[in-house]
Amino acid sequence: MKEIIQKDFELFLGNEVLEKLAEILINKEYSKVFVLMDTNTQRHCWPILSPYLVNYEPIVIPAGEANKTLKYAEKIWSKFQEHFADRRAVLLNLGGGVISDLGGFCAATYKRGIDFINIPTTLLSMVDASIGGKLGVDFESYKNVIGVFQHPKYIFINPQFLNTLQEEEKRNGLAEVCKHALIEDKSLFEKLAAIENHDWENAGALIFQSLKIKVSIVKKDPLEKDIRKALNFGHTIGHAIETHSLISDAVPLKHGEAIAIGIICEAYISKAIQGLSGSELEKITDFFKSRFPKYKGKLHAPSLIDIMKNDKKNRQGLINFTLLKKIGKAKIDINCHDDLIAKSIEYYRNLTP
Ligand SMILES: NC(=O)c1ccc[n+]([C@@H]2O[C@H](COP(=O)([O-])OP(=O)(O)OC[C@H]3O[C@@H](n4cnc5c(N)ncnc54)[C@H](O)[C@@H]3O)[C@@H](O)[C@H]2O)c1
């Protein structure tokens, strides 16, 4: 079992982590154990977790981003009240990023904060969403606008949960795994590039190498004032494309698919103004091109640039980028001309499928 012990939280990864969880729950003598899950994790993951728990209260919500809302937060708080949860209660979040964002938010705000524990079950939540303490819900069709920062007490990662995850959800997580490699760790990028079909259930070592990057960045800058912005590589253009697709497509792009396009475009900009070499741009482009389907929708640069200018991360009409100097080395807080952003989108558009 691999572990990371920090002041704010402890993380364990391996096939035996649920035994460790059971041990901790007994030692901590929580007054009540609640388990939040969605309909998919109830079906696929709850049968694996439940044998390790004794007294618990399950809370099940429908699966999907559409339910990361105050409406479901209220339902969770009501469940806490109904079962007389006091400040010694604990919430286990069994699921992907929707469950850890929503459940963490409910726990961090109930009676000014009860403990919560993340048991991530998607690749994206194992390497990203379950770590870092950003919690919250979507509001009036804007993502993550209501929320707080609070770390989980523990994170237990069992890669075997990935056995039942759909291929497109694995791909969704791959974009973030690779982003971590691109900003911090060339050796991880090379390992990822060398594998054709990722067998994530047996890839605990790769998951650990990737999540360690997020842990170390968050430790240096928990409130995203400085270096944590490195994690936004690919996300400035990626988020704009995600928003555009949500508005215009019958089947919108998944987050990871939009970020993959964002990474290609921002790698192009990195070559233009940060000295990323042509061969590294090619490697990054090939990596994402061969693993993600080409976006078939329209990409209209001026509209995407307008969306970027309205993003909460940007100020006074200036668009903030994290770019690459080379694979494994990022630079934060860079602005660039709209023309270059438009050219980067054209670069993506002109790629052969
Ligand atoms: N807090 C953060 O730092 C942070 C970082 C990145 C993303 N996020 C948030 O995370 C969310 C996306 O996370 P996600 O991609 O994990 O989405 P998700 O939680 O919606 O999970 C994706 C789908 O997979 C299903 N699923 C989960 N585990 C499964 C399993 N083991 N087997 C079968 N099906 C399973 C879910 O029911 C869901 O349908 C977004 O809301 C995003 O804003 C938060």
Predicted pLDDT of residue 278:
98
Measured CA to CA, the distance from residue 34 to residue 155 in angstroms comes to: 16
Structure confidence at residue 316 (pLDDT)? 73
* Mean pLDDT, range 228-254, rounded to an integer: 94
User: How far is ligand 1, taken at its centre, from the CA of residue 124, in Å?
Assistant: 7
Task: Report the largest interatomic distance among the alpha carbons of the chain, rounded to a whole angstrom.
Answer: 61
Q: How much is the average pLDDT of 201-224?
A: 92
Distance (Å) from CA 148 to ligand 1 centroid: 18
pLDDT tens digit sequence for 14-40 = 999 999 999 999 999 999 999 999 999
Q: What is the mean pLDDT of residues 78-88?
A: 98
**pLDDT, tens only, 266-278:** 999 999 999 999 9
> Does the pLDDT at position 314 exceed 80?
no
pLDDT at 262: 98
H helices within 197-300, ranges in order? 204-220, 235-248, 255-274, 278-291
- pLDDT score for 146: 95
Is residue 99 in contact with ligand 1, taking CB distance under 6 Å? yes
245 or 202: which carries more pLDDT confidence? 245
**C-beta 116 within 6 A of ligand 1:** no
Torsion from C-alpha of 77, 79, 85, 90, nearest 10 degrees: -80
What's the 173 CA to ligand 1 centre distance in angstroms?
A: 9
Q: Is the CB of 121 within 6 Å of ligand 1? A: yes
Rounded Cα–Cα distance for residues 129 and 152 (Å): 11
Q: Which of 50-64, 85-99, 150-164, 302-316 has the lowest mean pLDDT?
A: 302-316
Q: Give the CATH number of domain 2-164; options: 3.40.50.1970, 3.30.365.10, 3.30.465.10, 3.40.50.2300.
A: 3.40.50.1970
Q: In whole angstroms, give the CA distance from residue 85 to residue 65.
A: 26
Q: In the prediction, which pLDDT does 310 show? A: 83
Ligand 1 atom closest to residue 254's alpha carbon, by position in its atom list: 15
State the pLDDT at residue 124. 96
Question: What is the mean pLDDT of the segment spanning 5-19?
Answer: 96
Look up the CATH number of domain 167-349.
1.20.1090.10
Q: Would you state the pLDDT for residue 318?
A: 82
On the question of pLDDT at 141 being above 80, the answer is no
For residues 188 and 247, the model is more confident at 188
Q: For a pLDDT cut of 90, what percent of the chain falls above it?
A: 89
Nearest CA to ligand 1 atom 7: 129
Which residue, judged by its Cα, is nearest atom 3 of ligand 1?
Answer: 129
- Ligand 1 pocket mutation pick from 131, 169, 170, 312 by most atoms within 8 angstroms of CB: 169
Confidence of residue 195 (pLDDT cuts 50, 70, 90): confident
Q: Is the pLDDT of residue 101 over 80?
A: yes
Ligand 1 pocket check for 45: Cβ under 6 Å: yes
Interval 319-342: pLDDT, tens: 999 999 999 999 999 999 999 999
Boundaries of CATH 3.40.50.1970 in the chain? 2-164
Is 90 exceeded by the pLDDT of residue 112? yes
Q: Rounded mean pLDDT of the chain?
A: 95
Residue 243's identity, in one-letter code, is T
Residues 25, 343: Cα–Cα separation, whole Å: 54
pLDDT at 198: 66
Task: State the pLDDT confidence band at 311, using cuts at 50, 70 and 90.
Answer: confident
Query: Does the Cβ of 170 fall within 6 Å of ligand 1?
Result: no
